[in-house]
């Protein structure tokens, strides 16, 4: 049976992809060092605890498990931290990706799906990016991912591998059935943090920047439900298995919501007002960034199922309430 290796599969996005892979009958092996993931998120898949930058370990898994394709999620993802500690991001996100590619080359793995980010674009003229928009990341997180994209495309140009690079916009929400979710105790993602406040984990919620050139002065982002994003990965795998060529694709809904609109949704779904504190802008944040994801829909025949802000918030809020009610042990999620 063909097997898929998922690095970082115990993390937030990776675990949702693993869940969908297993649900359709795939055999999945996860490598995760559990520094930002948790065991409970890996359900019905083999978990190997280790570092994706450990070429010896990865090589043994690739060969010993008969891996057909690799999905690479393992990375640090916090933009402000990347500004204060850039070498951490270049070491984990870029150097470890290089080591993973080297192990794939040695084992003859020829299909690779890479978890990238809209942060590779940086500032855009209209706040909208398609795949041909120039890449000028404004923080080390985005640069570390763009460097990995470059390595991957250069290696694939040799003809020994084909890839799909998926550039995520703002991922949010949790499994609609409440089986897994986003469990970071120090979350920076807006909807996650807002839902933590709604269930009493935070005394207040900050808006960073209220003077952007947007209708209500707060930043606008394209929010995509994590299950819709996970489905795009399965489409990408099918594309490569059917002999499809290498691709770079945006993953978003093509429209955005401001910070205030998101917080209004959390208050509406949660049924209570939020205690909001307004603070200055954070370094590296943008006024607006929206995906043009037409290529994803056309090439992979991907259609979103959960393009509704209140639904996204509701799934995130259900998970936060579950964490509180069950007193589940929390650990960061990639």
Q: Among all residues, which ones are annotated catalytic?
A: 141
By C-alpha distance, which of 126, 116, 123 is closest to 139?
Answer: 123
What lies within 8 Å, CB to CB, of 239 at 6+ separation is: 164, 247, 299, 300
Neighbours of 285 (CB within 10 A): 16
Tokens 């500032």 correspond to 123
- Whether the CB-CB separation of 249 and 296 falls below 8 Å is answered with yes
3-state secondary structure at position 181: coil
3-state secondary structure at position 94: helix
- Whether the CB-CB separation of 46 and 28 falls below 8 Å is answered with yes
CA 127/CA 220 separation, integer angstroms: 9
Element (H, E) at 69: strand 67-72
With the C-alpha atoms ordered 165, 172, 185, 142, is the resulting torsion angle positive or negative? positive
Tokens 């703002």 correspond to 170
| Residue 4 dihedral angles phi and psi, to the nearest 5° | -115, 130
What lies within 8 Å, CB to CB, of 125 at 6+ separation is: none
CA 270/CA 60 separation, integer angstroms: 47
**Burial zone of 86 (CB within 10 Å; 0-12 exposed, 13-18 middle, 19+ buried):** middle
CA 174/CA 182 separation, integer angstroms: 7
- Whether the CB-CB separation of 167 and 251 falls below 8 Å is answered with yes
């Amino acid at each position: 049976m063909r097997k898929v290796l998922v690095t970082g599969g115990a993390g937030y996005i990776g675990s949702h992809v693993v869940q969908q892979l297993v649900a359709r009958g795939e055999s999945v092996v996860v490598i995760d060092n559990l520094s930002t993931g948790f065991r409970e998120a890996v359900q019905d898949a083999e978990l190997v605890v280790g570092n994706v930058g450990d070429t010896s370990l990865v090589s043994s898994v690739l060969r010993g498990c008969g891996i057909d394709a690799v999905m690479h999620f393992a990375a640090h993802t916090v933009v402000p931290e990347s500004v204060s500690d850039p070498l951490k991001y270049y070491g984990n996100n870029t150097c470890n990706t290089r080591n993973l590619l080297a192990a794939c080359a040695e084992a003859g793995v020829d299909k690779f799906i890479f978890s990238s980010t809209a942060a590779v674009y940086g500032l855009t003229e209209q706040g909208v990016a398609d795949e041909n928009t120039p890449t000028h990341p404004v923080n080390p997180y985005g640069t570390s991912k763009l460097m990995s994209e470059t390595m991957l495309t250069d290696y694939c140009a040799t003809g020994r591998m084909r890839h799909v690079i998926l550039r995520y916009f703002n991922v949010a929400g949790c499994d609609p059935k409440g089986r897994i979710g986003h469990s970071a105790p120090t979350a920076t993602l807006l909807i996650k943090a807002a839902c933590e406040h709604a269930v009493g984990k935070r005394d207040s919620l900050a808006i960073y920047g209220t003077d952007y050139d947007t209708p209500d002065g707060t930043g606008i982002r394209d929010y995509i439900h994590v299950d819709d994003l996970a489905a795009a990965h399965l489409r990408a795998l099918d594309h490569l298995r059917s002999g499809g060529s290498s691709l770079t694709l945006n993953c978003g809904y093509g429209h955005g919501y401001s910070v205030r609109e998101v917080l209004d949704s959390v208050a509406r779904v949660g049924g209570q007002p939020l205690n909001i504190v307004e603070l200055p802008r954070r370094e590296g944040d943008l006024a607006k960034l929206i995906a043009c994801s037409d290529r994803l829909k056309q090439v992979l025949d991907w259609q979103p199922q959960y393009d509704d802000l209140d639904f996204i918030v509701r799934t995130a809020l259900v998970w936060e309430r579950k964490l509180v009610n069950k007193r589940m042990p929390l650990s960061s999620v990639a």
